[in-house]
């Protein structure tokens, strides 16, 4: 029997593959495993970027395993570190996560894709939030989706449960790119390679600033920078890498990042 979640390291990139036929639905054990993998990713300084995808082509993930729910798992279940599918863990990371969406992203599967920083979708992909049809609420999507696309469009998806195809998701900016299915992983790996080429402390500072200033005004955000409240940003300013970058540019060579 194959593992429900596989992880493979490619240099500084960790590729995480959900593999639970037939729909890549997520039960408690799978959720715990995803949370553990993302926690380990966050703690390993040699890993810079994660790509999360799924086996097969029909489903990225159908979200919460309703068969497991019918057997006793409920919304109050302990889904492990980072909550359901490790989503909260992902959103706290100062490292980028790329969602390579290869099939239907339904409910919690849609939320897993939303938790990523960048999203690339295969042309045949569809997204949907049918939670009202089973008597629950897609809480993460209800909070996040209106931040990514117009509120009226977000509420349309949340209230009706209709499917949005990849082309429409691309028009609204919900996904960064829509590509043929055969090009999905190469596109995700291309993005990951570009990120890995950058200074790790700069990447961490960008993620932390973007996350922690989301509810602040511009003036409040700049005051936080001036006061040294954003640790990752301050660490970047004081780093060897911040001196290495300009030096490498002046010497017309590739920088050698130390992450310190």
Summarize pLDDT for 87-118 with one digit per residue, the tens.
888 888 899 999 999 999 999 999 999 999 99
**219-225: average pLDDT:** 94
For residues 19 and 99, membership in a common domain is answered with: yes
- Mean pLDDT for the chain overall: 91
For residues 100 and 185, membership in a common domain is answered with: yes
For residues 27 and 149, membership in a common domain is answered with: yes
For residues 100 and 228, membership in a common domain is answered with: no
pLDDT at 200 over 90: yes
43 is catalytic: no
Q: What is the pLDDT of residue 1?
A: 43
244 is catalytic: no
For residues 175 and 80, membership in a common domain is answered with: yes
Residue span of the structural domain in which 213 resides: 200-250
- Structural domain contains residue 260: no
Q: How far apart are CA 144 and CA 115, in angstroms?
A: 9
Quote the number of domains for the chain.
2
Provide the pairing of β-strand 97-101 with 118-122.
parallel
pLDDT of 80-89, one tens digit each? 778 888 888 8
Q: Which of 123, 131, 168, 190 is catalytic?
A: 131
pLDDT at 119 over 50: yes
Q: pTM value?
A: 0.92
For residues 121 and 169, membership in a common domain is answered with: yes
CATH of the domain at 67: 3.90.226.10
Q: Which of 15, 73, 111, 126 is catalytic?
A: 111
- Structural domain contains residue 172: yes
pLDDT of 126-176, one tens digit each? 999 999 988 888 889 999 999 999 999 999 999 999 999 999 999 999 999
Three state DSSP letters for the chain = CCCCEEEEEECCEEEEEECCCCCCCECHHHHHHHHHHHHHHHHCCCCCEEEEEECCCCEEECCECHHHHHCCCCCCCCCCCCCHHHHHHHHHCCCCEEEEECCEEECHHHHHHHHCCEEEEECCCEEECCHHHHCCCCHHHHHHHHHHCCHHHHHHHHHHCCCEEHHHHHHCCCCCEEECHHHHHHHHHHHHHHHHCCCHHHHHHHHHHHHHCCCCCHHHHHHHHHCCCCHHHHHHHCCHHHHHHHHHHHCCCCCCCCCC
**208-232: average pLDDT:** 93
**220-231: average pLDDT:** 93
């Amino acid at each position: 029997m194959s593992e429900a979640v596989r992880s493979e390291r490619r240099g500084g990139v960790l590729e995480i593959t959900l593999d639970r036929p037939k729909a890549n639905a997520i039960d408690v054990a799978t959720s715990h495993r995803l949370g553990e993998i993302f926690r380990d990713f966050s703690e390993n300084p040699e890993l810079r970027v994660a790509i999360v995808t799924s086996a097969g082509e029909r489903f990225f993930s159908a979200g919460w395993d309703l068969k497991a729910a019918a057997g006793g798992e409920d919304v109050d279940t302990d889904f492990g570190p980072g909550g359901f599918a490790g989503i909260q863990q992902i959103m706290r990371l100062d490292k980028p996560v790329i969602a390579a969406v290869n099939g239907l992203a339904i409910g919690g599967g849609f939320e897993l894709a939303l938790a990523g920083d960048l999203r690339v979708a295969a042309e045949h992909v569809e997204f949907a939030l049918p939670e009202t049809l089973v008597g629950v609420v897609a809480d993460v999507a209800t909070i996040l989706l209106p931040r990514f696309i117009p509120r009226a469009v977000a509420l349309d998806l949340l209230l009706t449960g209709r499917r949005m195809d990849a082309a429409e998701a691309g028009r609204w900016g919900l996904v960064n790119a829509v590509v043929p299915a055969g090009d999905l992983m190469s596109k995700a790996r291309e993005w990951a390679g570009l990120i890995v080429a950058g200074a790790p402390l700069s990447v961490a500072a960008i993620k932390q600033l973007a996350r922690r200033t989301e509810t602040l005004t511009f003036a409040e955000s700049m005051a936080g920078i001036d006061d040294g409240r954003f640790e990752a940003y301050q660490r970047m300013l004081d780093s060897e890498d911040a001196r290495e970058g300009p030096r490498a540019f002046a010497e017309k060579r590739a920088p050698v990042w130390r992450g310190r």
